[in-house]
Amino acid sequence: MQRIRHYLCLITFIFHIHCMVSPAAVYAQAQNIPDTSEPMHALFPEHAGSAGMETKNESALMPQEIIKSLQERPEFKGLTPAEIVKGKELLDTKEQQRDQEAKKPVKPDTDEHVKSLFDRYRDTGTYQDISTALRPFGYEFFSEYDEKALLPRKDLPVSSDYMVGPGDEVRIMLWGRVNAQYNLVVDRNGNITIPQIGPLQVSGMRFDELKGLLARQAEQIVGANMNVTLGSLKSIQVFVLGEVRRPGSYVLDSFATITSALIAAGGPTEIGSLRSIRLKRQNKTAADMDFYDFLLKGDKSQDSILQSGDVVFISTAGPLVGIAGNVRRPAIYELKEDKDLLSLFNMSGGLIPSAYTQQIQVERIQKNERQVIVDFDDKHLTKSGDFILQDGDLVKVFPIVDKDLNAVYLAGNVKRPGKYEYKPGMTVRDLISDTSALLKDTYFDYALIKRLIPPGLDTQLIPFHPGKLLLQHDDANNIALEPQDSVYVFSTWFFRDRPTITIEGEVRNKGVYDLLVNYTVKDAIMDAGGFTKDAGLDKGEIFRVSEEGDISQIYFSVGRAMTGDTKENLALQDRDRIVIHSIWEDKSRQLVSVEGDVRSPGQYPLTMDMRISDLIFSAGNVTESAYLDEAEVSSSNVDNGKSVTTDYKTINLGAALKNDPGHNVLLKPYDRVFVKRIPGWKEDRFVDVTGEVIFPGRYIIKKGETLSDVLERSGGYTDDAYLRGAVFTREEVKRLQQKSLDEMILRLESEIFSEGSLQMSKAASGEEIEAKKAEFLNKEKFIASLKKLKSAGRMTIRLAHLRLLKGSKYDIELENGDSIHIPMKNSVVNVVGAVMSRGSFIYSEPLDYKDYIEMSGGYTRFADQDNVYVLKVDGSARKLYTGIFNWNTAKDRWETAAFGEEAKDLEPGDTIVVPEKLDRIAWLRETKDMTQILYQIAVTAGVVSVLF
Which band of pLDDT confidence, cut at 50, 70 and 90, is reported for residue 100? Answer: low
Q: For residue 417, what are the CA distances in angstroms to 373, 438, 538, 709?
A: 43, 10, 49, 91
Please give the CATH number for the structural domain made up of 235-316.
Answer: 3.10.560.10
Question: Which residues have CB under 8 Å from 251's CB, separation 6+?
Answer: 235, 236, 237
Q: What is the pLDDT of residue 181?
A: 87
Residue 344 has pLDDT above 90, yes or no: yes
Strands (E), 231-290: 235-242, 248-253, 272-281, 284-289
Calculate what percentage of the chain has a pLDDT beyond 70.
Answer: 77
DSSP character for 306?
Answer: P
CATH fold of the domain at 826-917:
Outer membrane lipoprotein wza fold like (3.10.560)
Fold of 2-110+404-491: Outer membrane lipoprotein wza fold like (3.10.560)
Three-class DSSP category at 371? strand
Residue 487 pairs in a beta bridge with 410, 449
Measured CA to CA, the distance from residue 317 to residue 244 in angstroms comes to 12
Q: What is the pLDDT of residue 775?
A: 75
Instruction: Name the DSSP letter for residue 199.
Output: E
**Per-residue pLDDT band at 76 (split at 50, 70, 90):** low
Lowest mean pLDDT among 153-167, 284-298, 490-504, 761-775: 761-775
The torsion angles phi and psi of 88, rounded to 5 degrees, stand at -70, -35
**Mean pLDDT value across residues 438-455:** 91
Question: Which amino acid makes up residue 644?
Answer: V
pLDDT at 921: 65
Rounded to the nearest 10°, the torsion over CA 806, 809, 810, 813 is: 80
Element (H, E) at 391: none
317 versus 81: the higher-pLDDT residue is 317
Beta strands 626-639 and 643-651, pairing class: antiparallel
Q: Which helix (H) or strand (E) holds 375?
A: strand 370-376
Note whether 566 and 547 are within 8 A (CB). no
Q: With 0-12 CB in 10 A as exposed, 13-18 as middle and 19+ as buried, what is 573?
A: middle
CB 651 within 8 A of CB 633: yes
Q: Would the pLDDT of 55 be above 50?
A: no
Q: What's 500-585's CATH class?
A: alpha beta
Round to whole Å and give the CA distance between 164 and 230: 9
DSSP class of residue 250 equals E
Which CATH fold topology does 591-677 show? Outer membrane lipoprotein wza fold like (3.10.560)
**Helix/strand number for the chain, H first, E second:** 26, 42
In this predicted structure, which of 85-89, 136-140, 613-617, 896-900 has the lowest mean pLDDT? 896-900
Amino acid (1-letter code) at residue 501: I
Q: Given the DSSP bridges, would you call strands 591-596 and 672-677 parallel, antiparallel or unpaired?
A: parallel
Average pLDDT, integer, range 92-97: 67
Peptide bond into 455 cis (omega under 30): yes
**Entry pTM:** 0.40
Please list the alpha-helical segments (H only) found in 682-730: 707-713
Question: Which amino acid is located at 69 in the chain?
Answer: S
* DSSP 8-state class, residue 881: P
**Burial class of 134 by CB neighbour count within 10 A (0 to 12, 13 to 18, 19+):** middle
Domain residue ranges of the chain, discontinuous segments joined by +: 2-110+404-491, 153-230, 235-316, 320-399, 500-585, 591-677, 826-917
Nearest to 752 by CA among 923, 918, 934: 923
Where residue 530 falls (left for φ over 0; alpha for ψ -120 to 50; beta otherwise) is: left
Q: What is d(CA 497, CA 24) in angstroms, rounded to the nearest whole number?
A: 18
What is the predicted pLDDT for the residue at 893?
Answer: 55
CATH superfamily of 153-230: wza like domain (3.30.1950.10)
Q: Which CATH number is 320-399's, of 3.40.50.2300, 2.60.40.10, 3.40.50.300, 3.10.560.10?
A: 3.10.560.10
Q: Characterize the bridge pairing of strands 284-289 and 272-281.
A: antiparallel
Range in 356-370, 551-565, 624-638, 738-752 with the lowest mean pLDDT:
738-752
Residue with more model confidence, 899 or 681: 681
Separation in Å, CA 1 to CA 8, 42, 65, 529, 547: 11, 16, 11, 32, 10
Max avg pLDDT among 7-11, 45-49, 107-111, 139-143: 139-143
Q: Taking CA 342 as the corner, what is the angle to CA 340 and CA 344, rounded to the nearest 5 degrees?
A: 75
pLDDT grade for 929, boundaries at 50, 70 and 90: low
DSSP category for residue 744:
H
Q: Is the pLDDT confidence value at 696 over 50?
A: yes
3-state DSSP assignment of residue 241: strand
Confirm whether 320-399 and 500-585 share one CATH topology.
yes
Identify the band that residue 902 occupies on the pLDDT scale cut at 50, 70 and 90: very low
Residue 807 CB-density burial (10 A; 0-12 exposed, 13-18 middle, 19+ buried): exposed
Q: Is residue 39 pLDDT above 50, yes or no?
A: no
Please list the helix, strand and coil fractions of the chain in percent, rounded to the nearest 5, in that order. Answer: 25, 30, 45
Phi first, then psi: give them for residue 256, nearest 5 degrees: -60, 145
Evaluate if residue 4 carries a pLDDT over 50.
Answer: no
Residues 745 and 446: their CA atoms lie apart, in Å, by 77
pLDDT of 117 above 80:
no
